[in-house]
Chain A
Amino acid sequence: MLALAAASGLPLPSIARTSEAPSDPYSVPTVGNVHLMHITDVHAQLLPVHYREPAVNIGVHGARNRPPHLVGEALLKHFTIAPGSRTAHALSHLDYVAAAAQYGRVGGFSHIATLIKRLRADRPGALLLDGGDLWQGSATALWTKGQDMVDASQLLGVDIMTGHWEFTLGAERVMDILDNELKGQVEFIAHNVKDMDFGDAVFASHTLREMNGVPVAIIGQAFPYTPIANPAHFTPGWTFGIQERELQEKVNEVKAAGAQVVVLLSHNGADTDIKLASRLSGIDAILGGHTHDAIPRALEIANPGGVTLVTNAGSNGKFIGVLDFAVRGGRIRDWSYELLPVFAELLPPDPDMEALIAGIRAPFLTRLNEPLAQTDALLYRRGNFSGSMDQLICDALMEEMDAPIALSPGFRWGTTLLPGEIVTMEHLMSQVAITYPEVTLTEMTGARLKQVLEDVADNLFHPDPYYQQGGDMVRAGGLQYAIAPLASVGSRITDLSLNGEPIEADKTYKVAGWASIQKTQGEAIWDVVSRWLRREGQIGALTPNVPAVTGLANNLGLDEGC
């Protein structure tokens, strides 16, 4: 890889760092004259949280056993990170409960603000980029229609952003925020969102900024499958897509306009970014998000034009990516990338941000703090097939809706609770705060159930990342099945059963679900789950219902012990 980079134009990274931090883990030596700080997929988490990284993040075909599809010990080994260290806790699920207790919570906007200020102090002109999924994911973000995050990100000093879940606030609200609140402060860019009729751009495609004398172009790439993965009625008349060819034209255009550094701020997801980087020329770095992968080093991807760096900066405010370039005589001579975990206890809170957050929360405190139950179990979501939190939601759905089967979406956001914690309304909302929360009860045939599982499995395991959507597998309550990720579409799912009885193709089953992308009626998911939690009072051990995974040998994205 290093030889490749040297041969094809992009220089070697400046510092061959060891993964273990020096005494001050946030003292990051500054390189060069172009500085970009990157946060992504914050999902509106203003306060510090726990967020358990996945034990199951399977890579198939070209993505097999390479970042980001390495979990646990395989991941630590690949990046030479000491087991048991702070960094190991940030990047893996290993010994999660003990390590979380030892190292404390991560993220939180007042701690992020302190770190951003420190980084900026050594980096004149540095830009703060947000990769999207900033305005959604918490109670206060939902209840204020994203206003809390708009205010907090302005105070944080976000310069440029792109989007995905932002669009689920509806096109009108998004445009209102951009036109009336963020104008002149935060530039929202997305080259791949167009008017359906005429192909006119909905947003600015890019921004060209001069930083310390160097013209730098940032191009925005919104989540390409927004109207497919989320309800299309939120963005009427807008069309998305990867738009690879248009992106290459845009890169050529900004280079012709004088850009000496070209960066794509992307919400594609890591595998799509890696493929894109291998096919396009002239992009120096893709700062990526969407798939919530915390990749500790920049991946160097070769392409016909040289090498493109690809990064992915995790989620929930847990990490800040810092990318420095040294540009002289119009060329990149040197670069450095660091993915910094934000440990709240190591960074004193910024008083201004702390005050703003307190003000945001004040009107809602009683609702936010309402205790619903106590958990004995570790409650987490992230993982390809299910998590204990999803099992909890499925259990609540099945009991409250009196259905033998529940289906719950494979979202990758949703924070983690440690055993012994009180589950509050705020915690619950961090799993379910969406603008289409209606719970549904439908009659589905066995054939239809299989089709749904096949369809979602293909969105996760299609051999070509351009055909994936970047969510995890739909979570199934009650329903048992086996999955062969490497099989072709339509034949991955087998052995469907319910309570030990095989699912019959023609028989009809009652299925509870939520987050339908069709307009629908129903009780909000938080009302259903909170009712169940209050009644339960104490949450005992929870074993996520996961499918039997077949046909994978030595896949390092699957920690069998978990």
Chain B
Amino acid sequence: MNDTTKGRVSRRRLLNWAAALGALMTLPARAWATVSRPETAFDATALDQALMALGQTPTRHEGVIFTTPDIAENGAVVPIRVEVDQTVLPNVSKVSVLVEMNPNPLAAVFDIAPGTEVYIETRVKVAQTGNLYAVVESDGQLFMASRETKVTLGGCGG
């Protein structure tokens, strides 16, 4: 067990290093200029307000591939994954993640540089059982997928 743990720690450190280096050196100045934080959307306190602030009502689309746990192991750090089938949804410029029941539903917005394959994995906080949404901007239109994630008190199993 100890060996495994050590291995993990060193690997995590390596990644932290890489991330720090990446942030310092590889991001072109041009990219900074184009990233703008959608403040109104982040400040929204209800799902429909947040969606409205992103520009339009998204259409459900199978090209948005959204993976979330059915039941969260820990509501404070719920792993999610967004992928986009770019053969049907090309020219993706933004990916947003929303958590219906959170005080501020919009959890994250990712700006996607042209020519990038969309694969996002992150952790979001989920306050209570409800739907999670992945919203993708493709050719200026919004498309989405949603999944229910349950946050339970736990215990009493089998």
Number of B positions contacting A (CB below 8 A): 22
User: In the assembled complex, which residues on chain B have CB atoms less than 8 Å from the CB atom of A15?
Assistant: none
User: In the assembled complex, which residues on chain B have CB atoms less than 8 Å from the CB atom of A472?
Assistant: 156
| A245 interface residue per 8 A CB criterion | yes
Contact B8–A228 (Cβ < 8 Å): no
Taking CB atoms and an 8 Å cut-off, the chain B residues in 79-115 that contact chain A are 79
Give 1 or 0 for each of A215-235: 1 = CB within 8 Å of chain B CB. Answer: 000000001011111101000
Contact B70–A466 (Cβ < 8 Å): yes
| B71 interface residue per 8 A CB criterion | yes
Q: Is the interface of B mostly helix, strand, loop or mixed?
A: loop
| A98 interface residue per 8 A CB criterion | no
Contact A171–B1 (Cβ < 8 Å): yes
Interface pick from A47-55, A66-74, A305-313, A407-415: A407-415
| A195 interface residue per 8 A CB criterion | yes
Interface pick from B20-28, B50-58, B145-153: B145-153
User: In the assembled complex, which residues on chain A have CB atoms less than 8 Å from the CB atom of B49?
Assistant: none
Contact B70–A229 (Cβ < 8 Å): no
Interface pick from A1-9, A19-27, A453-461, A531-539: A453-461
Contact A232–B155 (Cβ < 8 Å): no
Give 1 or 0 for each of A443-483: 1 = CB within 8 Å of chain B CB. Answer: 00000000110011011001010110111101000000000
Q: Which residue of B12, B69, B148, B158 contacts A469 across the interface (Cβ within 8 Å)? A: B158
- Cα distance A474–B154 when bound, in Å? 11
User: In the assembled complex, which residues on chain A have CB atoms less than 8 Å from the CB atom of B158?
Assistant: 133, 164-165, 223, 229, 269, 290-292, 411-413, 469-471
Max chain A CB contacts within 10 Å: which of B67, B154, B158?
B158
| B11 interface residue per 8 A CB criterion | yes
| B74 interface residue per 8 A CB criterion | yes
- Cα distance A467–B149 when bound, in Å? 9
What is the size category of the interface that chain A forms with chain B?
35 or more
Q: Which residue of B11, B67, B70, B73 contacts A227 across the interface (Cβ within 8 Å)? A: B73
Q: Which residue of A lies closest to B79 (CB)?
A: A239
- Cα distance A303–B22 when bound, in Å? 46
| A544 interface residue per 8 A CB criterion | no
Q: Which residue of A lies closest to B153 (CB)?
A: A455
User: In the assembled complex, which residues on chain B have CB atoms less than 8 Å from the CB atom of A230?
Assistant: 155, 157
Q: Which residue of B67, B73, B148 contacts A228 across the interface (Cβ within 8 Å)? A: B73
| B129 interface residue per 8 A CB criterion | yes
User: In the assembled complex, which residues on chain A have CB atoms less than 8 Å from the CB atom of B129?
Assistant: 489
Contact A229–B156 (Cβ < 8 Å): yes
Evaluate whether A458 and B153 lie within 8 angstroms (CB atoms) in the complex, with A197-B12, A489-B129 already known: no
| A515 interface residue per 8 A CB criterion | yes
Contact A452–B153 (Cβ < 8 Å): yes
Evaluate whether A228 and B70 lie within 8 angstroms (CB atoms) in the complex, with A458-B150, A458-B152, A459-B152 already known: no
Contact A232–B152 (Cβ < 8 Å): no
Evaluate whether A517 and B73 lie within 8 angstroms (CB atoms) in the complex, with A197-B12, A198-B11, A467-B150 already known: no
Q: Which residue of A225, A410, A452, A471 contacts B71 across the interface (Cβ within 8 Å)? A: A225
Max chain A CB contacts within 10 Å: which of B129, B152, B153, B154?
B154
Q: Which residue of B lies closest to A516 (CB)?
A: B155
Taking CB atoms and an 8 Å cut-off, the chain B residues in 115-156 that contact chain A are 129, 148, 150, 152-156
User: In the assembled complex, which residues on chain A have CB atoms less than 8 Å from the CB atom of B8?
Assistant: 195, 197-198, 237
Contact B73–A172 (Cβ < 8 Å): no
Contact B154–A229 (Cβ < 8 Å): yes
B55–chain A nearest beta-carbon distance, Å: 30
- Cα distance A451–B153 when bound, in Å? 9
User: In the assembled complex, which residues on chain B have CB atoms less than 8 Å from the CB atom of A28?
Assistant: none
Residue pairs across A and B with Cβ atoms less than 8 A apart, 6 shown, are: A195-B8, A197-B12, A226-B157, A228-B152, A462-B150, A470-B158
Given A230-B157, A459-B157, A469-B71, 10 further pairs, Cβ under 8 A: A175-B1, A198-B11, A227-B73, A228-B72, A229-B158, A245-B67, A290-B158, A469-B156, A471-B157, A517-B155
3 A-B pairs with the lowest CB-CB distances in the bound complex, closest first: A229-B157, A409-B156, A471-B157
